[in-house]
Amino acid sequence: MGKTLIIAEKPSVAADIVKALPGTFTRTKTHFESDRYIVSFALGHLVSIAYPEEIDPRYQKWTIDNLPILPDEFPLTVLPETKSQFNALRKLIRGRDIDVIINACDAGREGELIFYRRADQQGPKESFYLRSPTSAPDTLRQSLSLAYGQVGRVRKRRLLFLAGRTRIHLDQVESLGDFLELEVVLEDGEPAEAGVLEADNLMSQLDIARSQLIEAAYVDLLRSKT
């Protein structure tokens, strides 16, 4: 079994992640490592957009004739001060013992408020959802809890894979265990039957029987245990 490579934004965050993971880690200059995980880090920005004169020598002197500068591609260059860590990360990413890579870099504490409407029924079901970005997820959650109450809280880790337009969720749900969820993203106006057909085909390939499907949401399963 290979290892999971986790990349954090900076060394201090990597150290915090290591504290939350099981196992004993050894530390090197560029990463932490156990028998199951490698936790490494960036140093802020490792690369930058190339300067205009690096894209094309004629941009060493700007004139009204060559403005605006809009190349077909905006190449990236490795920053000299972080080149050694960039090379270390590249070597880790290409390692033959790496099975999974997780981007754990800072998201600026941004989050999303997601409204879901989905029937509690066994088997494939149609979902409707709305996503609203928020820059203060903790405050928003507290405000909604005070206004409407809180029926439960789900804590989970999710690995996301894509098979065509189907999102495959591998969830580790605290107090419940491991789950797999298939989410077929339909086009506007496309019938639900098209998604059911794709989900059924993928279930067959993954050797998942209909009898293994559950009808309740995670929060309902948690409530039923209390």
> Cβ distance 105 to 111 under 8 Å?
no
What are the boundaries of each domain within the chain? 3-104, 111-225
Residue 43's nearest CA partner among 101, 84, 93, 90 is 84
The chain-wide mean pLDDT, for the chain, equals: 87
CATH fold of 111-225? Hypothetical Protein Pfu-838710-001 (2.40.320)
Helix, strand, coil distribution of the chain in percent, nearest 5: 30, 30, 40
Q: Give the Cα-Cα-Cα angle 216, 221, 226 (nearest 5 degrees).
A: 150
The strand pair at 31-33 and 37-41 is best described as antiparallel
Task: Tell me the pLDDT tens digit for each residue of 165-183.
Answer: 898 898 999 999 999 999 9
What is the value of pTM for the model shown?
A: 0.51
Return the CATH architecture of domain 3-104.
3-Layer(aba) Sandwich (3.40)
Q: What is the pLDDT of residues 78-135, one digit of tens each?
A: 988 899 999 999 999 999 999 999 988 865 556 788 888 888 887 788 888 888 877 7
Report which residue type is found at 94. R
User: 170: part of which helix (H) or strand (E)?
Assistant: strand 166-173
Query: What are the pLDDT digits (tens) for 4-13?
Result: 999 998 898 8
What distance in Å separates the CA atoms of residue 47 and residue 86, rounded to the nearest whole number? 8
